[in-house]
Structure 1
Amino acid sequence: MVDTGVLLDRASLLLEQGRVHDAEVAAREVLSREPYNDMALALLGRCAYEGGHFKDGMGFISEALALRPEHSFYYYLLAFGHYQLGEYATAVDYLATAQSIHPDIAEYYGLQSFVLLAQQQWEPALEKADEGLYWEADNLTCLNARSRALNKMRRNGEAIETMQDALALDPHNEMTHATVAWNYLEKGNHKEAQHHFREALRLNPNSDNARTGLKEALKSNVAPYRWLLQYHFWLHNKGKKWRTGSPIVLYILFRLASAGLSAAGAPKELVFLPIGLYLLLVMTSWTINPIANFVLLFHPLGKHAISAAEKWSAITVVSAMVSGLTLLGLGLFTNLFDGTAYANTIFFGALTLLTLALPLGELPYPLRWRGTTRAQKIALALVVLGATAFAGMFFLPGSLVLFTIYLVGFIVYNWTGLFR
């Protein structure tokens, strides 16, 4: 019979090689002999993490911690799980305990730096990364975190130098390639970003971070998406208040421009131009993601990068927009907009289809009511209301009651979306 110590070593090695199932089998064999073996429980937790099952993994690691409360690594593992779930305050608490037991382990400071980055605290994140590098100058987690912090602080030269050091230490590290790629993407160099994301996925095909990044880099081949992505990065770096307030500020500025043109006696078309540009910007920012996903459907790599839900969303959103534009074009080029009830039906029907593109992009896949977020429930209700309003226009030409109700719901949905 193989010794349990040998089995544990084998399980650890298998996990490092990415053979998660085999590692789990070995760890469970140890537990079948020694039900209270904390190392085997921790290994099971790490296996669960690899599959993205963080709550299950934390359950195993908590059991290991109860058996061996003085082991700092278990606090670190729990902190990592909470970080992945977005529970940053809890992650910081566990890291503080781990550091109080072993203050000289660089990896703990590296994770803390990434937690601070997630909280948009760039300076403290840099300080923690540097603190970790004091204990271990070639720690890749700290180097990656340091580069991200420097990049966010616009200290580009130092960020590049840090990543060159990291790549020199380990040119085959997927996390380092992913960090380099995100830095390039944030700087607008989507071609270089694609190269490094592909390399990261070659080294670790299961990297969600690299897969998400590659998808964004591929969508950046669509110029409007690339511009809006840069705007998104800029807003994200500014903080939540900027993200909430910028659409309102833009609306006020466009309204002032329109009012100024009106006061100056400009033609009616010119007066409405700023408002039209604002609406175009808003509509583009809300629909560009599914539109870019639709373009990816025809890309040899892109069609494998997006999920089934994203494919469904892309097709429905683009279908609604094309149908709306077709109906609008039909009315414009056949002189149907002459003020009659039928003309109103064509115009408002086209407007309904175009605006439906927004809530369609929020729908869950497959369609369901239970187990969805509040935003998805509101979007589903709005789509049903919009479809009913569209059908009602043709059964009751000239009646815009349902359309008015839908339009009010649409406006409320989008304005409240700023605060969701």
Structure 2
Amino acid sequence: MSDQDDLPKLLGDCVHCGFCLPTCPTYVLWGEEMDSPRGRIHLMQQHADGTPLSDNMVEHFDACLGCMACVTSCPSGVQYDRLIEMTRADVEREHPRSLKERAIREMVFQLFPYRRRLRALRGPLRAYQRSGLERLVRLSGVLKRISPSLAAMERLAPPLSKTVPKLPERVAARGERRATVGMLTGCVQAEFFPGVNAATARVLAMEGCDVVIPRGQGCCGALSLHSGREDEARAFARRTIETFESVDVIVVNSAGCGSAMKEFRTLLADDPTWAGRADALSAKTRDFAEFLTELGPRAERAPLPVTVAYHDACHLAHAQGVRAQPRALLAAIPELTVREIAESDICCGSAGTYNLFQPEAAEDLGDRKAVNVDATQAELLVAANPGCSMQIATALRRRGVEIAVAHTAQVLDASLRGLGRDALLARDS
């Protein structure tokens, strides 16, 4: 059955009770009914009944972060995640955007899913960051006048290390092998946060896993899928399936990527050639924290006397239901203290490409999250998605707050290798 066949039931599941309102970031910001999940579902129903997509309708759909907090809070089981992805696909097919908007979107989708293009950007971007030009450009506000989206891209870029260490195609298990896993390295994660991938491979190996890292892997299609670019997403999905078909488990350390790969079974459900293969890949995809919790600890944890604030990435907590596992992994490290962030269910404003296409709303949400992170008085922010790390770190810097940011894998790596708190707090990308 196609998505369009499912649409009447999916829309009819919503009883307009309003339980979603306090969890919706845009409703929390603006208090506008049409910028709440039930308001957007009302607009979706209008479109399903034959109303063409107007500029105003599209603005409300574009303003949605796709964070899926409403899905978690809904007592009626409304599949808003499917609804917004179907609607975004309709928008991309039916609604003409302005030339400027199309240009920005094409630039993003022709850059971020391609590692070689990101790698080519690293050198010039690092030179720009270290030259002092970065400060002058920001003070001048010239990029914001040209395009708020360009200004957001420049502002969000993390400080870059000189080189990206190459991972081998196979990392052998330490001691007796307990499992063999494939590892997704991602796009932004691989080029802007290579330390996360290196730490992920080391931790898996220290916990007794042979780690297979296919050299030919590419983008999983997460950004395209969550932005309504279905054909593009399907092409990326097929390539990912071919790359990882031979492994029994795929470990993913980026929340958005893991969520997308678990959705492949839905994305390719109508393709008789790929449906079974997609379902098999989705079934064996695990988030890093999810997999390690299932596997159980073996390597000895050394003490890490550090206070951390753990951030729930939306595509981990809401889309994958992975909340307790990363907290349990962190809490099992001796002398480490985990502090909760207020309004943890409210998105930080990253949401894949949202902070690039809706920079003002994203900045407001980032500032809100930064206030709550700062209030924990933690020494380290732990997040499981590169977009969240960039978004919150940028918002904290705007407030003049300097706090180290790390992935769960990096914290575990520091403990298993006995690196100590200073090495953990000093780490960069």
Give the structure with the higher percent helix: 1
TM-score range (shorter-chain normalised) is under 0.3
TM-score relative to the length of structure 2: 0.27
TM-score relative to the length of structure 1: 0.27
